[in-house]
């Protein structure tokens, strides 16, 4: 029954995507202005053409490595600050205005500000780091604050060693917050990282290719690159979330 | 033997415990306490989770096996892992299986806690306390949520586990007290 319902739900999802693709195709056919609106078929053709070029992979590798670096450093610092803030209240008060500022200021302002003191090659990492930091910090701090005091007392009474407490009591409680942080932060790091590249235009980046496509009014290429970014971002998000879930599942079976 | 002498505790100006004394000797001591009489506070003081305003505790061992009013199990972990987590090096799968079987839960070591019913979780939490090698056993309403058959099994397991150590059992039920044997202390009487 459950499988049947699952398949039916999947069918609806696929049908909805197909419907909007048809709307897009129909709009492109009616408009007959590929410079303004490229058809999905043309975009797919362009994407496959791009996938046949080694320069595409170089651009993707360049952007991916730098955005991933920003994501990882943002994640690590966000997690560390969340632990410190959960442990010491003054740290939370001290960090709050900083996180609120990063969350409220438009990403474009940060990109332009950062360009004053950073080279364009370092910009995407920095912006990705900056966008990931408050998401991870906020989610993990919430998770740490809502952890069960009752389980803490249980661990204290049974003298559960620190490391075991962390692995078996604290990390499982953080699971939903951690997964949500990864999911949100990954999407954000890609969007902001590419936006930084489009403004900073570092050579050989995906952002540069997007910028060139815009300058030459090559909408098919613009859409194809957008689609490629979307797919890679999705793959990364799903991959990392699956990895984390797998790690948790292994932990729970130990 | 553990002695709680002249214990007093006030919360927000309201006296929860007033000059309460209790001795827990080897074997079962049953503590009868109606709701709101400071039973939880008393246990928390005994466990060292709360500091009394006055009074002292003499002879409290370093290790205490405790069953809280709530099960306090890790829902995503298996029964075996929950036991291993609390018992550490004292965890022996065979002994754990025997204890669970005595509580009417044979072959449940590999089951995930979240898949168990309320009564089954209660018995897993009870097994954790019974298996923990400590000279003092503190059980807060250990039989709540258990049906008649499993309740009797649990009472037998508690009686057996209390041999050679002190056990303080909080209950509302006089029949539990009768079946457990041992001494009865009524918190209302102070």
DSSP 3-state assignment of B166? strand
What is the count of structural domains for chain B?
1
Q: What is the DSSP string of chain A?
A: -HHHHHHHHHHHHHHHHHHHHHHHHHHHHHH--TTT---HHHHHHHHHHHHT-HHHHHHHHHHHHHHHHHHHHHHHHHHHHHHHHHH-HHHHHHHHHHHHHHHHS-HHHHHHHHHHHS-HHHHHHHHHHHHHHHHHHHHHHHHHHTS-HHHHHHHHHTT--HHHIIIIIIHHHHHHHHHHHHHHHHHHHHHHHHHHHHHH--TTSHHHHHHHHHHTT-HHHHHHHHHHHHHHHHHHHHHHHHHHHHHHHHHHH-
Structure confidence at residue A7 (pLDDT): 81
Residues facing B44 on adjacent strands: none
Structure confidence at residue A253 (pLDDT): 67
Is residue B12's pLDDT more than 90? no
Chain B closest CA to A167's CA: distance in Å?
Answer: 10
Chain A residues whose CB is inside 8 A of the B77 CB are: 168, 172, 252
Structure confidence at residue B190 (pLDDT): 43
Encoded tokens for A40: 């999905």
Partner-chain contact A252 B88, CB within 8 Å: no
Chain B closest CA to A158's CA: distance in Å?
Answer: 5
Residue A139 burial (C-beta neighbours within 10 Å; 0-12, 13-18, 19+): buried
Tell me B189's DSSP state.
Answer: G
* Of residues B40, B59, B49, B57, the one with CA closest to residue B6: B57
Chain B residues whose CB is inside 8 A of the A154 CB are: 66, 68, 72, 86
pLDDT in tens, B99-150: 999 999 999 999 999 999 999 999 999 999 999 999 999 999 999 889 999 9
The CATH architecture assigned to A38-253 reads: Orthogonal Bundle (1.10)
Partner-chain contact A252 B112, CB within 8 Å: yes
B70 touches chain A (CB under 8 A): yes
pLDDT (mean) for B47-75: 92
Encoded tokens for B63: 């290790």
CB A76 within 8 A of CB A165: no
**Domain encompassing residue B151:** 2-189
CATH number at residue B20: 3.40.50.300
CB B39 within 8 A of CB B33: yes
Question: Which helix (H) or strand (E) is B168 found in, with range?
Answer: strand B166-171
* Of residues A129, A96, A104, the one with CA closest to residue A114: A129
Neighbours of A181 (CB within 10 A): 24
Percent share of chain B, pLDDT over 90 = 63
pLDDT: is B39 or B139 the higher one?
B139
CB B21 within 8 A of CB B186: no
Partner-chain contact A252 B76, CB within 8 Å: yes
In the predicted model, residues of chain A with pLDDT beneath 70 are: 1-6, 253-254
pLDDT (mean) for B63-80: 93
Give the mean pLDDT of chain B: 90
Residues with Cβ within 8 Å of B108's Cβ and at least 6 positions away in sequence, in order, are: B79, B100, B116, B120, B124
pLDDT in tens, B77-88: 999 999 999 999
């Amino acid at each position: 029954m459950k499988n049947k319902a699952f398949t039916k739900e999947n069918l609806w999802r696929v049908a909805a995507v197909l419907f909007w693709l048809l709307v897009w195709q129909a709009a492109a056919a009616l408009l007959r202005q590929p410079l303004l609106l490229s058809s999905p078929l043309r975009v797919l053709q362009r994407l496959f053409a791009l996938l046949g070029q080694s320069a595409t992979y170089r651009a993707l590798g360049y952007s991916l490595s730098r955005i991933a670096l920003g994501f990882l450093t943002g994640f690590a610092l966000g997690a560390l600050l969340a632990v410190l803030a959960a442990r010491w209240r003054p740290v939370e008060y001290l960090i709050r205005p900083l996180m609120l500022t990063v969350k409220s200021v438009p990403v474009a302002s940060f990109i332009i500000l950062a360009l004053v003191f950073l080279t364009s090659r370092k910009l995407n990492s920095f912006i990705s780091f900056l966008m990931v930091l408050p998401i991870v910090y906020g989610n993990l701090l919430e998770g740490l604050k809502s952890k069960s005091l009752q389980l803490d007392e249980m661990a204290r009474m049974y003298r559960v060693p620190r490391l075991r407490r962390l692995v078996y009591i604290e990390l499982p409680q953080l699971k939903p917050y951690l997964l949500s942080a990864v999911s949100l932060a990954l999407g954000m790091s890609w969007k902001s990282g590419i936006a930084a590249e489009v403004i900073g235009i570092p050579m050989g980046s995906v952002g540069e290719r997007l910028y060139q496509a815009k300058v030459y009014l090559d909408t098919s290429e613009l859409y194809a690159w957008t689609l490629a970014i979307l797919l890679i971002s999705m793959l990364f998000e799903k991959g990392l979330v699956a990895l984390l879930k797998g790690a948790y599942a292994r932990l729970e079976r130990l | 033997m553990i002695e709680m002498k002249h214990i007093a505790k006030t919360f927000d100006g309201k006296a929860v415990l007033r000059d309460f004394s209790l001795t827990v000797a080897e074997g079962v001591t049953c503590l009868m306490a109606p709701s709101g009489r400071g039973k939880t506070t008393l246990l928390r003081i005994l466990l060292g989770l709360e500091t009394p305003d006055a009074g002292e505790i003499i002879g409290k061992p370093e290790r205490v096996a405790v069953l809280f009013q709530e099960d306090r199990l890790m829902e995503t972990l298996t029964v075996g892992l929950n036991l291993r987590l609390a018992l550490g090096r004292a965890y022996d799968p065979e002994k754990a299986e025997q204890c669970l079987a005595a509580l009417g839960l044979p072959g449940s070591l590999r089951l995930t806690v979240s898949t168990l019913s309320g009564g089954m979780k209660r018995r897993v939490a009870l097994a954790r306390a019974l298996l923990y090698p400590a000279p003092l056993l503190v059980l807060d309403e250990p039989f709540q949520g258990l049906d008649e058959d499993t309740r009797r099994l649990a009472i037998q397991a508690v009686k057996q586990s209390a041999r050679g150590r002190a056990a303080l059992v909080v209950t509302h039920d006089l029949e539990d007290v009768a079946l457990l044997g041992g001494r009865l202390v009524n918190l209302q009487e102070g």
